């Protein structure tokens, strides 16, 4: 029997879901890749829904002609102009078993981690932590079904 193993982790430094594979056959890799893409899409949707549903209980301030109510510390960022929501994308590489979810907004890191003047409004890590167990379960189920 081959020595097959995998680990799924959330790397807090790069804010990504990583999967390490050793000695897998192509059918298993295809199944795992499918589950990763499915899981990354769920993480992305989780992030967006958290931002849209976050309680707007933070600071109220005027931005141009409109008023904006921010989220309070510890909650996902409140949607303002949808720039952060639009910047959340999946990164799928077909030639590798790797899938990522990231935000291209320049201020996403400040919201996620906070700054000296602002407490964090995390949205990526909570979404990944909520979905990784489901991704693991589905991958394990598929692997057991394939019987590697």
What is the mean predicted confidence (pLDDT) over 90-112?
78
Residue at 148 is within a domain? no
Residue at 63 is within a domain? yes
Phi, psi of 55 (to 5 degrees): -70, 130
What confidence tier does 74 reach under pLDDT thresholds 50, 70, 90? very high
Residue at 39 is within a domain? yes
Give the containing element (helix H, strand E) for 41. Answer: helix 26-53
What confidence tier does 33 reach under pLDDT thresholds 50, 70, 90? confident
Model pLDDT, residue 2: 40
Question: For residue 146, is pLDDT > 70?
Answer: yes
- Contact predicate 99/91, CB 8 Å: yes
Residues in the chain: 148
Residue at 112 is within a domain? yes
What region, left, alpha or beta, does residue 96 occupy, with left being phi > 0 and alpha being psi -120 to 50 degrees?
beta
Model pLDDT, residue 91: 77
Percent pLDDT > 70 in the chain is 78
Residue at 103 is within a domain? yes
Distance of CA 65 to the CA centre of its chain: 33
What is the mean predicted confidence (pLDDT) over 77-95?
84
What is the mean predicted confidence (pLDDT) over 99-121?
88
Percent pLDDT > 90 in the chain is 30
User: 126: domain range?
Assistant: 5-141
Residue 19 or 130, more confident: 130
How many other CB atoms sit within 10 Å of the CB of residue 54? 20
Residue at 146 is within a domain? no
DSSP conformational letter for 147: T
> How many domains does the chain divide into?
1
Model pLDDT, residue 50: 95
Residue with tokens 């707007």: 56
What confidence tier does 1 reach under pLDDT thresholds 50, 70, 90? very low
- Contact predicate 120/73, CB 8 Å: yes
Residue at 147 is within a domain? no
Residue at 19 is within a domain? yes
């Amino acid at each position: 029997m081959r020595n097959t193993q995998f680990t799924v982790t959330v790397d807090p430094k790069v804010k990504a879901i990583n999967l390490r594979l050793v000695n897998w056959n192509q059918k298993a890799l295809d199944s795992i890749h499918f589950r990763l893409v499915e899981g990354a899409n769920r993480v992305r949707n989780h992030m967006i829904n958290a931002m849209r549903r976050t309680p707007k209980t933070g600071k109220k301030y005027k931005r141009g002609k409109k008023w904006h109510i921010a989220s309070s510390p510890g909650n996902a960022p409140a949607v303002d102009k949808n720039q952060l929501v639009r910047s959340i994308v999946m990164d799928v590489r077909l030639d590798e078993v790797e899938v990522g979810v990231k935000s291209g907004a320049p201020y996403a890191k400040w919201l996620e981690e906070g700054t000296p003047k602002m407490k964090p409004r995390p949205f990526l890590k909570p979404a990944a932590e909520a979905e990784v167990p489901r991704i693991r379960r589905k991958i394990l189920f598929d692997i057991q079904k394939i019987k590697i």
